[in-house]
Structure 1
């Protein structure tokens, strides 16, 4: 895999060429086409150490990972869920979750940049015409990246959209303002969630360099620092009719789109936990000093430290087991979609999300207790694990996962219709 390193590294796309803050649109580099599940896992394993190599420095400097994103998309991993009949590998949800967990153990911020692309691929699969599928799937397989202009900062909840799509002659125009736009800065195509003139949810796929579309790198969270999950401003952006997807088919009815997206989030949290535990073991083995009362010569011989590592590993393996179980249920649901199987998938993913959240936070916190005061030194930047875990796990509240799971098993109540469960 060869990265295209011709990118500038300026922070936004809202300035004119030559002005401070100008960033060119990313060139399209040919992507490898992955053929099956085994190859997807193998490629992820190859990329993980490359993602990890400068993760500490990227986080510290808020240095956006243009070169690494090129490697990511050129590897072919961005197209692995595209169905085989359209040229993709059509990998299982189990494999998809494993890929994200592997990569997130290296750098969860970089890994998350691809997350929304997979949701849109599934929206295209379920709602697109044959022409749309062949065009958009072909674009992804050729190396183009899908971004994200979904969520909005205002509104009474996450489904209160103010972005509107209206017809103008033989095409449409979309106007609004988006935030949490992970991937848009690195994208070639920006899918935009909007309401049409009848109030239905649609996805309008715009070119990143379309007139009126402005990407601003104003993401300032203390974690997931290099996802560039900031603002997208839309000022009458022209959208061809052929690029409008009737997404209400999956967003206003029961579908697997929501739990599929949630599964990837859970996998990222599992990856954060893996990375934090690996860092803890390395520090304890090679750098930490034993506590004076242990009577040990090595920190790794401290009985309380040994027990704590055992506890973390058990909890990680439990979370990973539920993640695999959720992936298998999703695969079964996608093969036979109905209200009952959708409910099973949502609950299985919710259970996995609870444990991956808990172990990501616990592992990132326990690292400092077991490695000692020297682990807090700025040179190590180990707090990035906790900052990434705390930020990413806020995507959807786990307290409501417990409620949905309890309602399902105790009272036979199906989980909510929306995509955040």
Structure 2
């Protein structure tokens, strides 16, 4: 099935990918990503999800999924900055006034990013919140608490914070990162996704106007919206796999050595077993990329369908389960297998070939793959 994709969006993504690729090795080695974030913020990509009805590009899920995939080929950590940004660009419509919504849209148009802070440490799970928004007499809130792994927080202009109010109800808010009492700490120490800018967030009685706070529940969070966030992660995994495959193939082509046992071949490219190995991984990457596009198209249909029927939402969920599980498996496998294609020389630290595996392994830990396969298996067995 073909899907309409604006070629201008793809051209922007490819130009941004190429610019990021030029500095990806330096960033991975030094941990310094300010230049990469600047490339992203000046790329013209940040406004893609502003609705066409409001004068924005109105990019579809199919289109932004392609953006994630393309950027992740070069630097999946930087690609991940767009996951909360696009997701919460969609949520701006939930704000309580025209003034609040227009303030956010104006900043997004100007290339300013939105980050997200949800996960906390100390509870039974990441969504067991201790961060509290206390209501004031004028209707505003004072926010206090601490968040771990605040995705994209470094360099962001806004951050969305999930918390509980005085009655224990879950709420969501948009807070400017320069608000008094808000502190972002650059302490993300993961072995991969180093460019994701995910530090600790501390809130010390941060004043938040009521118009920037809204209830957060299944009723206010459409299924298609929630699944689109998960699809973004799958797109990043597919991009990692494509980047790893491209790197591995280039390494094979550039090699002028063959194992002693294969001395009859002029180059590694002639090795039939290696051809099989590369072809197998290429087929897997192509297949999961196609599944990614199909799932994105189903989400677009759900978003375009008022009161989408349960049958369509079920199609969204099932497609996402398969895409999420397969993209995680394929990205980890390709990032591992590429080392066997050219041997010990690929382990040279100057190549930083391990960045593909470190990024894939780190990023795919977001969502336990075994649970996604189990969920899909349960569906199949109980139809």
TM-score, normalisation: structure 1: 0.85
Matched, 1:257 2:257: no
Contact 2:48–2:56 at 8 Å: present in 1 too?
Answer: yes
1:364 counterpart residue number: 335
Is the partner of 2:184 in helix, strand or coil?
strand
For 1:47-126, list aligned pairs within 5 A.
47-63=16-32, 65-125=33-93
String of CA shifts for 1:185-237, please: whole Å, max 9, x gaps. 11111111111223222211111111111101111111112223121011111
Contact 2:131–2:146 at 8 Å: present in 1 too?
Answer: yes
Is the partner of 1:179 in helix, strand or coil?
strand
Cα distance in 1 for partners of 2:331, 2:217 equals 33
Contact 2:117–2:161 at 8 Å: present in 1 too?
Answer: yes
1:201 counterpart residue number: 170
1:44 counterpart residue number: 13
Matched, 1:142 2:101: no
Matched, 1:213 2:182: yes
**How far did 1:151 drift?**
1.3
Is the partner of 1:137 in helix, strand or coil?
helix
Cα distance in 2 for partners of 1:201, 1:343 equals 25
**How far did 1:255 drift?**
2.2
**How far did 1:143 drift?**
2.2
Relative to 1, partners in 2 of residues 1:210 and 1:304: Cα closer, same or farther, differing over 3 Å? same
Where structure 1 has 5 or more consecutive residues not aligned to the other structure, the ranges are: 1-35, 413-421
1:23 counterpart residue number: none
Relative to 1, partners in 2 of residues 1:186 and 1:254: Cα closer, same or farther, differing over 3 Å? same
Cα distance in 1 for partners of 2:159, 2:165 equals 17
Cα distance in 1 for partners of 2:240, 2:63 equals 18
Which of 396, 408, 417 is residue 367 of structure 2 equivalent to?
396
**How far did 1:308 drift?**
0.7
Relative to 1, partners in 2 of residues 1:195 and 1:271: Cα closer, same or farther, differing over 3 Å? same
1:189 counterpart residue number: 158
TM-score, normalisation: structure 2: 0.93
String of CA shifts for 1:321-353, please: whole Å, max 9, x gaps. 110111011011111234332222122111111
Runs of 4+ in 1 over 6 A off after TM superposition: none
Cα distance in 2 for partners of 1:250, 1:191 equals 19
The structure carrying a bigger helix percent of its residues is 2
Relative to 1, partners in 2 of residues 1:409 and 1:288: Cα closer, same or farther, differing over 3 Å? farther
Matched, 1:159 2:127: yes
Relative to 1, partners in 2 of residues 1:250 and 1:40: Cα closer, same or farther, differing over 3 Å? farther
Relative to 1, partners in 2 of residues 1:197 and 1:215: Cα closer, same or farther, differing over 3 Å? same
Relative to 1, partners in 2 of residues 1:49 and 1:167: Cα closer, same or farther, differing over 3 Å? same
Cα distance in 1 for partners of 2:180, 2:376 equals 45
Cα distance in 2 for partners of 1:80, 1:110 equals 16
